[in-house]
Amino acid sequence: MTSSNRVRLAGVLEAVPGTTPVTPRLRQQRVTSIGLTYKTDYEESGELRDDRMNADPLSVGQSNGGQIGIEWHYPVPGSLLDSEIVSAFCADWVNTPFRDNDGLPASAVTSVSADAQVVAMTDGPAFAAGHLVRFTGFEAANNGVRKVTAGSATAPAFAGGGLLDEAAPGAAARLKVVGFEGASGDLATTLTGLGSTALDFTTLGLSVGQWIKIGGTTDAYRYGTAVCNAWVRIVGIAPHELALDNRPAGWAVDAGADKTIRVWHGDVIKNGSLVRSVTLERGFLEQNPPSFIAQTGMRVNSLEFGGEAKKPATGTVAFMGMKGGSSGVALDVAPADAPDMVDYPAMAFSANCGRIGVGGAALGNPDWARAIKFTITNNLSTRDALSDGDGTAPAAVAIRDGACDVKVELDTYFGSRALLSRIESGEKIGVNCRLQKCGRAMIWESPRLTAREGDPGVGGKSQDVTLPAQLTASRDPLTNAQLILNRIEFFQ
């Protein structure tokens, strides 16, 4: 017998589509259902027999695909969910600079010097002056958020004088850029965004279409004008000016006198045209010995994110793959654990939904949102061949890209004509959704949508009248994207 409570899903990102890396380091995934399929395809024989019986069906090849169900949590870098997002978007994340020992002490972060307040690390993307860097996994006194005073790719220096000597940072030691900070009085809000006198915004790795959170926890790090400590989107970047939209009502000019304003931001991914695939392995651990089914060249054909009021944020990940097979031996006998449920809990609507935005403004009274769903579909199809050149080709030899389709389903209360008027006029609008929990956030956004359907629904007596809108995305000239996902690892 096999219980669903003893089934493990693990996987790894492939460097070459259809080829599992040598000695792969698999990572487990948290799922609510596993509907993956690896099967042999058959064709019925057309042979005529005078006894009216049938010849054996003909085995003609293999099919690999299926889908999994998930509850959305923060998509941890390097996790299997992270790799599936990369496959779905056909793009790589644009990450803020980081170094991670990732299980091997002193490998990427090699030492901490109290004397110079410098961290020695392996070469990579540089930490710039003004960056806020989060220290985790170090000795307790060294953990926290610190500002870079002297930028470097191998030996950045930090402000504050609080770092202690650490000759060999441990296996969990990690440095991650999570934002930036201005000098006292340097960052001021303007009528259209954020301005600076000294800090050069073009040195910080920011991008148009990226979301930022302005303001820290204490008064020293936030504006006195409360409404300016807000989530906003970058629409223009100059050395001393950030143009911002999605500004909240009441946004005002604030000089930030005597304040060292903190601004938080994270990683960004936009839909693209890169081929990214994973190897997936199901392990049936209750069996003695266990059975394992591996499937290679698995590309994400569609990915969903969304939910209803007072329900978990859920989704499905649907795959189309190449080869498969079962074995009594796992590809990795000790795959890495999935992101911890305590550190990275599942998110939910309404408790963790910070904002639903439509057309640059928060959606609220009287047109409250009831449900939302983003879907990206890659319209993949398999390429089948007579032979793969080295023998038979029972499985697909490649997977063909189709058009990238992005759809948003938005269900609201019909409290006014505001949204209906936009649907009727064919206005191009953006829709975004922010979920936040445990000091982390993810923001899903489709910046240019056309409403294809949307009529008030009257279901019967004693019911709310609702406006379910169906919107489809097209290329946004500002961001050159149809779907953008921001993940913010830390904010205050």
Q: Kindly state the tokens that stand for 380.
A: 């993949």
At residue 385, the pLDDT reads 86
Q: Are 310 and 324 in contact (CB under 8 A)?
A: no
Give the pLDDT score at 454.
Answer: 85
d(CA 66, CA 324): 12
What local confidence, expressed as pLDDT, does residue 392 receive? Answer: 64
pLDDT of residue 96: 98
Q: Which residues contact 161 (CB under 8 A, 6 or more apart)?
A: 117
- Tokens at residue 43, please? 């064709």
Distance CA 177, CA 202 (A): 15
- Low-confidence spans in the chain with pLDDT less than 70: 391-393
Task: Name residue 135's beta-bridge partners.
Answer: 144, 175
CA–CA dist 257, 187 (Å, integer): 9
The pLDDT score that the predictor gives to residue 393 is 65
Query: In this structure, which amino acid lies at residue 32?
Result: T
Residue 150: Cβ within 10 Å count: 15
